Homo-oligomer: A and B are copies of this chain.
Amino acid sequence: MKKILQIISDAPLFNGLSEEQLNDVRQISVDKFCDKGKTIFLEGDDCNGFYIVADGKVKIYKVSFEGKEHILHIYGPGNPFGEVPVFAGRKFPANAQTLLKSHLLFFPRTAFVDLISKNPSLALNMLGVLSMRLRQFTVQIENLSLKEVPGRLASYLVYLSQEQGRTDVVTLNISKGQLASLLGTIPETLSRILTKMNQQHLIDTRGRNIILKDLSGLEDLAEHGKLQ
């Protein structure tokens, strides 16, 4: 297991903080170990702090009345989540659940707000994190409202290719069902579109590995294209 101080100093939120500041941060953090599938909080729950993923994977999601689930984010090591109600209102706006056995760090609200008030650079980091998140949401909304599913999938593949630093092949780190939910669709539709993309030699699916046969074609599709 990685040292907690190491995890903290690696998180973007605490980037560039001094040794002393990092120690302060460590002082107020509380460890939380969760099995796979554990619900961390539900939409509407009262919030008295936020979390950082030290190890494992967490999904943030909304559920419709009929029980349909839409995944908003999947977070891994170093990512914070649940910070919104720390600064605005008291309730969580979505649900959080572990996808794997996970190690989380919990930061109690009041202690963290105190810390921020005393450390301008921590405040600026937090502003940066929230702003990045707003930027991502803007893209997500654009995708949902302006593109159809093939375009969203292509965007995601291009994003993965950048994320994983490869132009030849990418690996899904979530199930296709979860990917469907993340793209705002259902497994059947995703499956059909993957088949179509195969037929048009854009990709070649090998389980969770997807060979990118025509990256620029995918970029095109992500930007504005239609699949025939």
Residues of A at the B interface (CB closer than 8 Å) are 62, 64-66, 68, 70, 72, 83-89, 93-94, 113, 116-118, 120-121, 123-124, 126-128, 130-135, 137-142, 144-147, 184, 223-224
Contact A128 B184 (CB under 8 A): no
Do A84 and B144 have beta carbons less than 8 Å apart? no
A113 proximity list for chain B (CB < 8 A) = 124
Question: Which of B64, B66, B127, B140 contacts A123, CB < 8 Å?
Answer: B127
Please tell me if the beta carbons of B93 and A139 are within 8 angstroms of each other in the complex.
yes
8 closest A-B pairs by beta carbon, nearest first, are: A65-B224, A88-B131, A123-B123, A64-B146, A145-B184, A117-B120, A87-B131, A137-B137
Q: A93-B139, A145-B144 are in contact. Are A131 and B84 (CB under 8 A)?
A: yes
**Besides A93-B134, A123-B123, A133-B134, 10 other A-B contacts (C-beta < 8 A):** A62-B145, A64-B146, A65-B224, A70-B145, A86-B131, A88-B134, A113-B124, A116-B124, A117-B120, A126-B127
Do residues A134 and B84 form an inter-chain contact, with CB atoms below 8 A? yes
Known contacts A124-B117, A137-B141; A132 and B224 CB within 8 A of each other:
no
Q: How far apart sit A135 and B132, CA to CA, in the bound complex (Å)?
A: 14
Name the distance in Å between A164's Cβ and chain B's nearest Cβ: 21
Q: Are B135 and A93 in contact (CB under 8 A)?
A: yes
With contacts A64-B146, A141-B72 known, is A130 near B134, CB below 8 A? yes
Chain B residues whose C-beta falls within 8 Å of the C-beta of A62 in the assembled complex: 138, 141-142, 145-146
B131 contacts A120, CB within 8 Å? no
* Shortest distance from the beta carbon of A136 to any chain B beta carbon, whole Å: 9
Chosen A-B contacts, 6 in total, with CB atoms closer than 8 Å, are A62-B138, A85-B131, A88-B131, A93-B135, A94-B138, A116-B127
CA distance A142 to B83 in the complex (A): 19
